[in-house]
Amino acid sequence: MDDNKIIALYINRDETAVAQTAEKYGQRLKRISYDITEDAQTAEECENETYLKAWNTIPPQNPVDYLFVYLARIIRHISLDVCRTRGRQKRSAVITELTAEMEECIPSPDDIVSRLEYQELGAAISRYLYTLSDEKQMIFIRRYWYLDSVETIARRLGIGQSKVKMTLLRCRKGLQEYLWKEGYEL
Amino acid sequence: MRGKEMLDAVGYLDETLILKAERPEQKKSIWKLWTTAACICLLLGGLMIPQLLSGHTDNSILSSINRIYDLFNAMFISENGKLTDDDYIAQIADLPVNDAQLYASFESLDEMIESTHANVIVRCTVAERGDCIVYDPWGSYSEDDLDADVDISVAAQRCLSTSYTLTISDCYLGNLAVGDEITFYAPYGILDGYTYRKARVPLFGVGAEYILVLRAEEINGEIVYNLSYTPDSVYVVANPSNSKYSAVETAEGSLFYVYRDDVSAVEAHIRALVSENNYNTTIEKFTSGKNKQ
């Protein structure tokens, strides 16, 4: 079923919307969550929460042109939250490490997010990423969106781990400068 | 906390970027993999022939060949075709085929058939579901290994497969006839409480109908059928409501993708591919060897 029809089901409060969504995107969504949580049961729970959240937010949201990405964002957010709140030791350590890496991109000590909507900041980061090569984009997004390990990224791209680490370091520095130049915080 | 918020903000990246990064990379790597592997096989073959002619074989060469088979076997049974498991990666680490560790994916059925050397494509109905066993045609692992020490047990769990008797209703590629029955082993299952990864439900429902892309080989005189590649080798044609597991449940309980396209379109596509391409339907013969380390 195409996305237009699935969205129409949500808007008409037809409960088959969830089943259709699960059928079309369930596997991909669960994969995103599993990569973050590394736990099949948790991934399933996150998947179910994602459907609930979609049910509660469509309408008023109408992600007709980007339903998968809309759901993917939700499940990523939920999965991250689960890792943080449940404090599973191994995954928490990974999230903490990623959080520390992202700290390096913040251009000032002020609380940047309190004055900028997440979406605006996400759009700014996107603009920065569009200035990079495909490979650098891939490395950055696989690390900070999909939360892949450095080893996984290296394997995926067929490059060395040291190259991945170096690219991430340069990307973080570049992003910090970009946000600074864009006037996000001076 | 601010790093946390930055990490959350990354969640709002442009959808094009997110989708682009989700796409499997290394389409070329599978070609490199097969090419490299073919070169290795030729090289090993070249090394072996003089020794075979002289009546001597070098165990290290035989061992290397067995490990290359392991490598392909690992690729075919590992989830999404990725060689992600540490011990498989360790197993092949010193082989000159590092591309095997990379992500393999195919953009078309044609590419998948050619790259995985699929030689049988059938439409079939599941007549019977057998028991889950440790299925290793190469003879490395058996049921007893499930209770062995951790490394061996994990390796044996990877071989857990469930047997199915399939009744052929159409054969698009290969030499099977309508009405033939074949035994087919699908990865995953549960045996004596052992399972591997997310294999909580059997993949195939009894009475359900599928189109399967298979790789047939003759090992020790027995024809062995395996899915040519996961996740792109299973099409669900019909799954009757009286089946214990619905198509969606079985799909979600496994790592295979399920195509719900119009069946006639899928069939037409397959028939066109088979008529346009001269796919090799030869069933290669192998002799298994003990290669347990």
In this predicted structure, the answer to whether residue A51 has a pLDDT above a threshold of 70 is yes
At residue A71, the pLDDT reads: 92
pLDDT along chain B (293 residues), means of 10: 74 85 55 41 36 36 37 37 40 34 46 78 88 80 81 77 90 94 79 57 66 84 78 60 40 36 74 90 73 35
Measure CB to CB from residue A122 to each of B2, B12, B257 and give the nearest one: B12
At residue B193, the pLDDT reads: 66
Interface test with A, best of B4, B6, B20 (most A CBs within 10 A): B6
B161 DSSP assignment:
E
| A contacts of B23 (beta carbons < 8 Å) | none
- Rounded-to-integer distance, Cα B289 and Cα B60, Å: 13
Cβ of residue A101 closer than 8 Å to a chain B Cβ: yes
Q: What is the dihedral of CA A50, B23, B200, B167, to 10 degrees?
A: 130
Q: How far is CA A165 from CA A101, B7, B173, B262, in A?
A: 11, 18, 46, 45
**The most confident of A44-48, A96-100, A158-162, by mean pLDDT:** A44-48
At residue B288, the pLDDT reads: 62
- Helix or strand (DSSP H, E) at A8: helix A3-11
Contact in structure between B215 and B224 (CB atoms under 8 Å): no
| B contacts of A118 (beta carbons < 8 Å) | 5, 8-9, 11-12
- Rounded-to-integer distance, Cα A54 and Cα A68, Å: 11
Residues A144-152: what's their mean pLDDT? 86
Residue A153 confidence class, pLDDT cut points 50, 70, 90: confident
- Rounded-to-integer distance, Cα B78 and Cα A155, Å: 15
Interface test with B, best of A121, A135, A147, A184 (most B CBs within 10 A): A121
At residue B79, the pLDDT reads: 35
- Contact across the interface for B26 and A158, Cβ inside 8 Å: yes
Contacts 24+ apart (CB under 8 A), B98-102: B99/A158, B99/B26, B99/B29, B99/B32, B99/B33, B99/B36, B100/B33, B100/B37, B100/B71, B100/B75, B101/A155, B102/A155, B102/A156, B102/A158, B102/B25, B102/B26, B102/B29, B102/B33
Cβ of residue A23 closer than 8 Å to a chain B Cβ: yes
In this predicted structure, the answer to whether residue A62 has a pLDDT above a threshold of 80 is yes
Measure CB to CB from residue B18 to each of A113, A123, A141 and give the nearest one: A141
- Contact across the interface for B12 and A155, Cβ inside 8 Å: no
Rounded to the nearest integer, the mean pLDDT of chain A is 81
| A contacts of B198 (beta carbons < 8 Å) | 40
Q: How far is CA B220 from CA A104, B73, B145, B162, in A?
A: 59, 16, 21, 20
Cβ of residue A154 closer than 8 Å to a chain B Cβ: no
- Contact across the interface for A146 and B198, Cβ inside 8 Å: no
Determine if the peptide bond prior to B24 is cis (ω within 30°): no
Cβ of residue A138 closer than 8 Å to a chain B Cβ: yes
At residue A50, the pLDDT reads: 92
Contact in structure between A64 and A4 (CB atoms under 8 Å): yes
Contact in structure between B217 and B192 (CB atoms under 8 Å): no
- Contact across the interface for B252 and A158, Cβ inside 8 Å: no
Cβ-Cβ pairs closer than 8 A, A with B, add up to 127
Determine if the peptide bond prior to A60 is cis (ω within 30°): yes
Cβ of residue A82 closer than 8 Å to a chain B Cβ: no
Residues A22-48: what's their mean pLDDT? 85
Query: What is the distance in angstroms between the Cα of B214 and the nearest Cα belonging to chain A?
Result: 23
Query: What is the distance in angstroms between the Cα of A131 and the nearest Cα belonging to chain B?
Result: 12
Instruction: Using CB atoms within 10 Å of the CB of residue B206, give its burial: 0 to 12 exposed, 13 to 18 middle, 19+ buried.
Output: middle
Query: What is the distance in angstroms between the Cα of A68 and the nearest Cα belonging to chain B?
Result: 9
Measure CB to CB from residue B9 to each of A113, A130, A157 and give the nearest one: A113
Q: Name the residue with higher pLDDT: B92 or A19.
A: A19
Cβ of residue A180 closer than 8 Å to a chain B Cβ: no
In single-letter form, the type of residue at position B260 comes to R
What three-state secondary structure class fits A24?
Answer: helix
- Contact across the interface for A26 and B12, Cβ inside 8 Å: no
| For B5, nearest residue in chain A (alpha carbons) | A113
